[in-house]
Structure formats: C-alpha cells, structure tokens
Amino acid sequence: MSNHEKFFINGQWVDPVNPAKMQVINPATEEAFTEISVGSSADVDRAVAAAKGAFPAFSATPMTLRLALLKRILDAYNDRIEDLAQAVSNEMGAPLSWAREAQTWAGRVHLKATIAALEKFEFESQRGTTRVVKEAIGVAALITPWNWPLNQIVCKVAPALAAGCTVVLKPSEIAPISAIIFSEIIQAAGVPDGVYNMINGTGQDVGHFLSAHPDVDMVSFTGSTHAGIQVAKAAADTVKRVAQELGGKSPNIILDDADLETAVRQGVEKCFGNSGQSCDAPTRMLVPRSKMQQVYAIARQTAETMRVGDPRSDETLMGPVVSELQFQKIQRLISLGIEEGATLVAGGLGRPEGLTRGYYVQPTIFGDVTPKMAVAREEIFGPVLVIMGFDSEAQAIEIANDTEYGLAAYVQSTDMIHARSVARQLRAGQVSINYPEWDTYAPFGGYKQSGNGREYADWGIHEFLEVKALIGFGSDAVIN
C-alpha cells in the first residue's frame, strides 16, 4: 500500500486533518506520476505535539542508544537505495545514474559521517569547577528543498537525532516521494514513536506554521534566500533558533598559473551537474582576460559534450530542471543576459534540439559578462555559466567577493601556496581548491545572505544543542 497520501506522525501513517491533494509532476514528461496530501496548521499541531511529547524521554536516552539507532537507520536506508533512486529520478528528473551515484549516495555518506562524529562527540567538559553540558535544544522543525532532497533530509535528521532532539520534517512539495520513502526507512529502523514526524505541504501552509509554532524550539531551513527571510521572520516572535543554508552565486577563480584545459573543463562540468541546480555550483568563472578566447573554446567544447535528455537513458548526463516555474525563470534570465550584451558562447533560449517536451534547458555559457549584469548577480539555479575576465589577481578577488552571497568559492592553480593565499581572501563558508572530492566532514554553510550555521558531521550536531553551565559542580566528578 502506498503512503503517498499520508503523513507520518507519532509512529503511524495517518490521513491529513483536512483532506487536500497535490499532483507530483515528473519534469521529464510534464505529467503527474502520483499525488500527495498537503497539510494545514492542524497537521502541524498534531506533528509538533507528538514531537514535544516524545522529547523528554528521547533526549534522556544514552548516546550509545542514539548511536545504535542511527546505525539501524543506515542499514534500512541501504535496503531501499534503488527505491530512493527511482523516486528522485521521477520527482526531479535526475538521470538514474546521477540519482544512484550522487543523490542517494549523499544521504548514505552523511549518515556515515554523523555516526562517526557521534562516536567521538563530547557532550560534557570541565572548566575549573564548572561542568559545561551540551543538551538537545528540543523540538526541531526541518524544512528541506527539492534539489538535493536526500542530502538535505539526512543532513538535518541525522544530527538532530544524534543530539537527542525530536523532529518534524517538511520536505519540498515538489520532490516529496523520496521523503516518504525515508519516513518508511525511519519506521523500519524502529525509531521511537513521536521522535520523527513528517508532513507534506507548501511553505505557506505548513512551513510558515512550523516556523512560527510556539512549541518548536528550532528551525533548520534550506532553500532560497527569499524563503529563508520569511522563515526567520515567522520564527522571530518566539525567539527560536534558526539555522539557514540559503542561496549562492559561487565564484570560480582560474588563476594565471592554472592548468587551463583541466580547470575550465571541470569548472563547466561542476556548474552543469544536477542540471545546474546546486546552491554551491561554481556559476561565475573568473579567468585572466588575456586567455578569454582559449577559455571560450574549451568551455564551448565541454558544453557540447553534455548530453541532455531522457533520465532513463544510460547516455544522458543532464536531465530537465525541476519544474515549469524553474524553466521559465531560467529562460527569462538567459533572455536578460542577451539583452544586457553578454555573448552566447554556448546554448541559449529554448529546449535542446530534438526535445519538444519536458523542462529541458540548453547548457548555456555567457562570455563578455560584467559584474553588474543580472546573470552575474542573480542565482539562476539552472545550467547557466557566466565567464568574467580579470586584469589582476586583486581584481579577481574583488569581483569574487562582490556578491550578496557567500556560500562557496573555488580556486584553481598549479601552485598550492598561491591557491591557499587566494582562498583565504574569499568571503565564503567553503572554498574548494583544485576541485577536491566532496568532504562530508567539512563544515558546510555560508557567509552573508547565504545563511548562518553549519552542517555535516559534528558541525551539524552542534547546531541542535544548547550549552548549559553547571557552576560550582566541582572538578572531582567523572564526566559522563
């Protein structure tokens, strides 16, 4: 029996209080492949009450029991890998190979990273006669996006449970089926009733009520900067903690001493990965002005290798973007880039040749882009790369930092000392040098309007903890 039209509350699959449904669209076909129920404030009240009721007992459980629980979740997750991959491919149009090797893989490795972090985590420490205790903050509302659904669900649920919090998850209504399967995984792992709850719905009808709810102690939100501001405003009246991972417009500085062929090719591929729908994608390529024509040639050639098409085909490297709304936004910004005078190096308006249905976008590259153009400043969230020239290293750093965002940045150089020096000057929460492997133990989060707080491994656990000082506790007691 399908749970697509149910919510998971207090250990049970339940119907919404007020029946209402929404179609889930496969962006490759533009057709609905299933329906979900969407919730209301009444469903929020039920889920929060369940989490609040479960909190006293769960927060008091020994760390060893929470660790065993996370390991059971990992085992159950591994049992459903193919189901998760199929769901992600259907709901967001990801090529099956990408859904398996990146999307579902991300959830697994973050579970592993949280487990490893919890095994070494110190919840108590001693400073003189004061015992410093880190305790679960309480009921956590977790609001996750559609672009990396399993990555963001696990990056919030796993550390919250590790810390001893109880949670209410609201996944994106655009990509909700992977979250429903994840909730089935939670049930199979034997998570105590009320510790984990999941309800579907829109940001306006569920996300807002969760953020404002007086019995929610913390909100962890990933999404656009605009939506993050609304979450923070809703949470402000109850002075709850808000952790946010928001938008990005990440610079990729290719220094004069970089291996140009490798740096440009990999930069284009990273920008277009996940159909350009990653908040930390290197969407602004900064290159020495004297090498612009060489860069354009390499970038164009790379874009032409990005086979766009049916997510079910083994040959497909890039699927559609997630929705008609997203497709129209990207088309509008491509059109604006042309109007502003940027040069089309590759791609452009409309679908790729031969595709007449589905929200497919041509892998698009703009050259001759200036820092004030909209395509250089707005988060497009699609397969669109802008290439900008610089005359000096100082100018490259200035352009890189000239943004309201600060989530990620990239530096390419064959001289590691040189690259490290530039990386230290970039105002971003995560700076990658020479395209390293994904590090699930590194802190992830942003500066400026890219948010606050950090995720991954022990960094994520800290976000769900309060710090208590037991003054005069004594220095002779044994730390638990």
Could you give the C-alpha distances from 305 to 101, 218, 224, 263, 334, in angstroms and in order?
Answer: 20, 45, 30, 16, 20
Q: What angle do CA 241, 236, 378 make, to 5 degrees?
A: 85
Q: Where are the domains of the chain?
A: 7-246+446-470, 251-433
pLDDT at 73: 98
What average pLDDT score do residues 466-475 get?
A: 95
Strand (E) or helix (H) holding 118: helix 104-120
Task: Say whether pLDDT at 480 is over 80.
Answer: no
Q: Give the pLDDT confidence score for residue 452 in this predicted structure.
A: 95
Is 212 in contact with 188 (CB distance < 8 Å)? no
Q: Which residues contact 161 (CB under 8 A, 6 or more apart)?
A: 66, 69, 70, 73, 167, 191, 195, 196
CA dist 26 and 293 (Å) reads 39
* Cα(190)–Cα(186) distance, integer angstroms: 7
Q: Which distant-in-sequence residues (6+ apart) come within 8 Å of 360 by Cβ?
A: 308, 309, 319, 320, 321, 351, 352
Candidates 271, 279, 455, 463; catalytic one: 279
* Cα–Cα distance measured from residue 290 to residue 293, given in angstroms and rounded to the nearest whole number: 8
Alpha helix segments (H runs only) across 340-428 = 374-377, 393-401, 416-424
For residue 269, what pLDDT band results from cuts at 50, 70 and 90? very high
- What mean pLDDT do residues 92-100 have? 97
Give the model's pLDDT for residue 476.
75
Which residue among 173, 245, 455, 463 is the active-site one? Answer: 245
- Does the CA dihedral 229-231-237-241 come out positive or negative? negative
Give one DSSP letter per residue of 31-67, joined into a string.
Answer: EEEEEEE---HHHHHHHHHHHHHHHHHHHTS-HHHHH
pTM here?
0.97
pLDDT tens digits along 129-140: 999 999 999 999
**457: CB partners within 8 A, 6+ apart:** 113, 114, 116, 117, 440, 441
Q: Is the pLDDT of residue 251 over 60?
A: yes
pLDDT digits (tens, 9 = 90+) for 346-400: 999 999 999 999 999 999 999 999 999 999 999 999 999 999 999 999 999 999 9
In CATH, what number does 251-433 get?
3.40.309.10
Question: Catalytic annotation on 271?
Answer: no
Collapse the DSSP code of 125 into the 3-class scheme (helix H, G, I; strand E, B; otherwise coil) and give the result.
strand
Is residue 466 part of the annotated active site? The answer reads: no
Fold exhibited by the domain 7-246+446-470:
Aldehyde Dehydrogenase; Chain A, domain 1 (3.40.605)
Q: What is the pLDDT of residues 30-50, one digit of tens each?
A: 999 999 999 999 999 999 999
pLDDT of residue 136: 98
Q: Record the tokens describing residue 47, joined without a space.
A: 């889920």
